[in-house]
Structure 1
Amino acid sequence: MVTLCHVFGVHRSSYKYWVKSPEKPDGKRAVLRSQVLELHNISHGSAGARSIAIMATLRGFRMGRWLAGRLMKELGLVSCQQPTGINVVAMNTSLSRITLSDSSQ
């Protein structure tokens, strides 16, 4: 093994790591990924890793915030809080009323 690693320019530790790595996708991880995606969609994108970890644990899927964060990163999910305060539609409506009343003069 040492000679082969030297010939191919691969470190022994890298080879040993590759040998120990699982060949097939992990079914448990796929289930957890689907749960993370579902919980993120239920929260309309506002749940972060901590919230998702708590919600998944309450559903019976054992998950910490670090795992939830890694799964979110794999799925490309980012938490984003919904805007609050001024309603944009109401603001646009009131602006159009002001514009219409000014143009009639």
Structure 2
Amino acid sequence: MIAELRESFPTAIVCRVFGVKRSSFYEWLQRLAKPQVRREELKLKVVELHSESREAMGSRMISKGLKSQNIAVGRSLVRTLMREANIVSKQRQPHPFRSKGLKHLLRLIDSNATSNRLLLIRSGVATLPA
């Protein structure tokens, strides 16, 4: 906002109106002009780790992976870099035709047996055990 208004008004007056020190404004302008090489390198590493994991890694696992490569980075920075790169982790879904295991099968059999027993009792074919 200040950068736009300073084309029409003196910078000192615009900064005073917004309550910003003029030196802070000029420092901010210099930071914008400076390329952020380390941040871009980190973003490339994050994208690389994410794609290696078949897009399953989230910010926690990526930050652990970077720390194992001796790159000091926190989870919040990784999360921010993932947002900047439009990366979202995907969690794998179970295969629809794969067996869910013996416990699941036993649970199904038990529930079917119980419901069949109840149907027989309701219809009068069987009685409750004493």
Assess, with a 3 A threshold, how the Cα gap between structure 1 residues 83 and 56 changes in structure 2: closer, same or farther.
same
2:86 to 63, 76, 84: 76
Take 1:38 and 1:31, find their aligned partners in 2: how far apart are those partners? Answer: 11
2:45 aligned with 1:35: yes
Match of 1:19 in 2: 27
Unmatched tracts of structure 2, length 5 or more: 1-10, 99-130
The number of residue pairs the alignment matches comes to 86
CA contact (8 A) 2:63 2:78 kept: yes
- 1:92-103 mapped onto 2 (5 Å cutoff): none
Normalised by the length of structure 1, the TM-score is: 0.68
1:5 to 11, 15, 18: 15
Unmatched tracts of structure 1, length 5 or more: 89-105
Query: Which amino acid letter does the alignment assign opposite residue 27 of structure 2?
Result: V
Between 70-79 and 55-64, report the one with greater CA deviation.
55-64
1:82 CA displacement: 1.7
2:36 aligned with 1:48: no
Normalised by the length of structure 2, the TM-score is: 0.56
Q: Secondary structure at the match of 1:85?
A: coil
Query: Which amino acid letter does the alignment assign opposite residue 29 of structure 1?
Result: R
Assess, with a 3 A threshold, how the Cα gap between structure 1 residues 40 and 2 changes in structure 2: closer, same or farther.
same
Quick check: which has more Rg, 1 or 2?
2
Take 1:60 and 1:70, find their aligned partners in 2: how far apart are those partners? Answer: 20
CA RMSD of aligned residues (A): 2.5
Take 2:60 and 2:21, find their aligned partners in 1: how far apart are those partners? Answer: 34
Higher RCO, Cα 8 Å, sep 6+: 1
Between 78-87 and 22-31, report the one with greater CA deviation.
78-87
Query: Which amino acid letter does the alignment assign opposite residue 37 of structure 2?
Result: G
